[in-house]
Structures are given as C-alpha cells and as structure tokens.
C-alpha cells in the first residue's frame, strides 16, 4: 500500500491509496451537520492531527492467565489436528473475554488467528466487536482484504441491528485497535467501502469526515465508489449530492482521477447540464487534473445527442480522433440513435459505415437502432 502526504495551500494531509442494505431513495442526513474541515482551519503540519489512542486491554486474573497460556501453547504446538479436538479440554472454561488475550499471544501467525477466531464463532461464543476489529486489523496487515471485508460485511448483515448505535461503536473500536494491532490505513478504506456497498451512505460520509481528524484522507478509489453510489440514485437529490461531495472532498485532499471526473460528467448529463459536463471535460486537461478517456468523451457526446446538438457531436468526434481515442459502440449508438430520431437515417448509415472503416466494430444495439430507423421512415 502506498501512502502519500499531500500539500494543499500549505496544509498537509495523508492520502491513502488502497485496493477496493440497498441504498434508500433519499439521503436525509448525508450533509446535515456534516461539516467538512476547511483548509484554513487546519494547522500547517500533521502535528495538529489527533493521535490514534493507545491500546490498553483489561488485565486477566491469574486463573485467566493460566488458561490463556495453556490454550495459546496448545494451539501453537498443534500439527494437523483440528482445533476442536485439541481444545476440547478447555471448552467448558473458555469465555468470550479470553479471546483477545489469546489473540495477543498468536497475532504473528495469521492462519492460526483465523482458525482460532472461527473456532470461537462456531462455539456460538459471539466474539466482541473489539475482538472482531482486532482480527480485521490483522487481516489487513496480512494483505487479506477479502477476509477483512467479509468480517465487516458479516457484522452489518446481522438481523435486528441498530445501525446508528452499532456504527458509532464499530468506528470507535476500529480506531481504538488500529495502533496496536495493525497500523495499516487500508483498513479505513475497506471499512468505508463496505459502508457504501451496504447502502450506509450517511454513515460513510460521517466516517470520511471523522478520519480527517486523524490526518487520514480516504483513498480516491474508495471515494469514487461513494460518488458512483450517490449518482446512481434515481432522483436529482442523489445527483446534486454527488456534485457537492465532489467539490467538498477535493477541498480536504482527495485527488480526483479520470474515473472520478467521468462520474461527475455522467451526473451533470443526467441533470441536463451537458454544457457544464463539456466544460468539466475541457478543464480536466487544461488544468492538468487528469486526461479524459473514451468514456469521458462518450458521455458528453451522448448528452449532446440527447439534446439534438449534432454539430457539436461531430466536433467532439473529430477531437477524439485527433487525440488518438477511438469512439466505442456506445458512442456510435448515441450518434446513430440521435440521427434516426430526427429522421436522418441515411446519415446514420453513413456514420456507421465511416466508423466501421475506421475499425470500430458496432454491436447488435447499433444495428437494431438503424434497422428500426429505416422501418419508421418506410
């Protein structure tokens, strides 16, 4: 994992780069009392960031210590025997609080950690949230993001869960266990992504802001997922919130990439703001933010096609070709469909043939669109 300090207007942030419930139709709390820290309110160094807390677990009694020592020794020395067999003598004495103490003794053996945690879960001992966070931290440190994601997802899938209360508790435990058990910022990216995936967009935004207090900025890839889920909302509220998040996140250190801008361009086009989308496309390269790709152009072209601005479309196609970008079937279909709608079926066919001459292979949708156009004009 790469970690990079970002300097913006004299202020420093940590940019984290990492690997990666049905959303409601409204987001009533997403931006309510969610104050993004402005650069001017922060110190010029990371010394102003809140430090992660030290880990100080409850001390075991002498009897507990003996049991933990026996269990730790037995599972470390096992060969091929299953844990359920070698731990049979200790089952009646084992309690949930023993789990963390045992984990402290075996944390350097990742496979053993997973096996023991699974043994505890199968016994219906129901590990504490703190213990779950510890295993999540260990999994991320072992570069097993899939397991970390699964452990987080499993928690949110519990029935009758008080999401609001559980969210606050989960975040608190994740931060509390970070310094001692992992210190890998990727854990916060993964947690953020899972919140987005299960539809907890309000909580994801709150979590994003909370991590700023610790000098950490959620990765651009994770933020792209957040933008994408917001923009997928069927009404204008989600789209407007996408635009707002894009602006606010950039103010606190998120360096948006091409994929981010493509989400924004798509959102603007869906809102009917095609000219603004086109302006953003131009600004991407002019200001050196990132380089537009085929998707960037295709989205704007589709927007102009829907608006009937065919002359601008042709100019954009020419601009794409000058930059060595080949229109894809989606671009082609947008143009053909727009021409067919205005009764210019012959022109649509001409465009199709020209595209094929340039090596662009149309899909079935393009042919279907053209055939339908010819049928309508007789």
Would you say 103 and 113 are in contact if contact means Cβ atoms under 8 Å apart? yes
Distance CA 242, CA 226 (A): 9
Domain boundaries, the chain: 1-219
- pLDDT value at residue 235: 67
- Let me know if 120 is exposed, middle or buried by CB neighbors in 10 A (0-12, 13-18, 19+): buried
Q: How far is CA 107 from the centre of its chain?
A: 28
- CATH code of 1-219, in short, is 1.25.40
Strands 216-217, 11-16: parallel, antiparallel or unpaired by DSSP? parallel
> If you ran DSSP here, which 8-state letter would residue 217 be given?
E
What is the residue-level pLDDT of the chain in tens, covering all 378 positions?
444 333 233 332 333 333 333 333 334 434 333 333 333 333 333 457 899 999 998 999 999 999 999 999 999 998 788 898 999 999 999 999 999 999 999 999 999 999 999 999 988 778 999 999 999 999 999 999 999 999 999 999 988 888 889 999 999 999 999 999 999 999 999 999 999 999 999 999 999 999 999 999 999 999 999 999 998 876 667 788 899 999 999 999 999 999 999 999 999 999 999 999 999 999 998 888 899 999 999 999 999 988 888 889 889 988 998 998 988 888 888 888 888 877 888 888 888 887 788 777 777 887 888 888 888 776
- The pTM score is 0.82
Secondary structure of residue 319 in the 3-state scheme: helix
DSSP 80-140: SS-HHHHTGGGTTT--TTHHHHHHHHHTT-HHHHHHHHHHHHHTT----HHHHHHHHHHHH
Q: Describe the strand order of the beta sheet including 3-8 as a list of residue ranges.
A: 3-8, 11-16, 216-217
- pLDDT value at residue 152: 98
Would you say 296 and 264 are in contact if contact means Cβ atoms under 8 Å apart? no
Distance CA 153, CA 127 (A): 15
């Amino acid at each position: 994992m790469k970690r990079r300090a970002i300097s913006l207007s004299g202020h420093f942030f940590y940019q984290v780069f990492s690997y990666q419930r049905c959303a409601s139709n409204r987001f009533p709390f997403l931006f309510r009392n969610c104050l993004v820290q402005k650069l001017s309110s922060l110190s010029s160094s990371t010394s102003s960031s809140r430090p992660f807390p030290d880990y100080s677990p409850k001390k075991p009694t002498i009897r507990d210590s003996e049991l933990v020592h026996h269990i730790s020794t037995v599972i470390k020395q096992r060969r091929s025997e299953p844990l359920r067999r070698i731990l049979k003598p200790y089952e009646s004495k084992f309690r949930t609080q023993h789990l963390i103490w045992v984990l402290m003794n075996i944390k350097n053996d990742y496979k053993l950690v997973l096996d023991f945690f699974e043994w505890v879960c199968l016994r219906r001992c129901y590990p504490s949230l703190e213990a779950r966070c510890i295993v999540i931290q260990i999994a991320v440190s072992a570069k097993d993001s899939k397991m970390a994601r699964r452990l987080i997802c499993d928690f949110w899938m519990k029935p009758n869960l008080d999401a609001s209360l559980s969210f606050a508790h989960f975040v608190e435990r994740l931060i509390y266990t970070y310094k001692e058990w992992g210190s890998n910022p990727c854990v916060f990216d993964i947690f953020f992504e899972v919140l987005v995936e299960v539809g907890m967009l309000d909580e994801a935004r709150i979590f994003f802001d909370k991590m700023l207090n610790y000098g950490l900025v959620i990765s651009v890839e994770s933020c792209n997922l957040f933008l994408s889920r917001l923009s997928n909302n069927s009404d204008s509220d989600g789209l407007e919130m996408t635009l707002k998040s894009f602006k606010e996140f950039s103010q606190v250190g998120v360096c948006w990439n091409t994929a981010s801008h493509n989400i924004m361009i798509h959102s603007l086009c869906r809102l009917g703001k095609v000219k603004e989308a086109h302006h953003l496309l131009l600004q991407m390269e002019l200001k050196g933010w990132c380089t537009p790709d085929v998707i960037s152009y295709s989205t704007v072209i589709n927007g102009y096609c829907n608006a009937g601005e065919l002359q601008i479309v042709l100019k954009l196609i020419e601009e794409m070709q000058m930059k060595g970008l080949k229109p894809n079937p989606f671009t082609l279909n947008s143009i053909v469909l727009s021409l067919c709608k205005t009764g210019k079926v012959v022109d649509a066919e001409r465009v199709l043939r020209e595209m094929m001459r340039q090596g662009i292979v149309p899909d079935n949708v393009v042919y279907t669109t053209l055939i339908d156009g010819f049928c309508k004009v007789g």
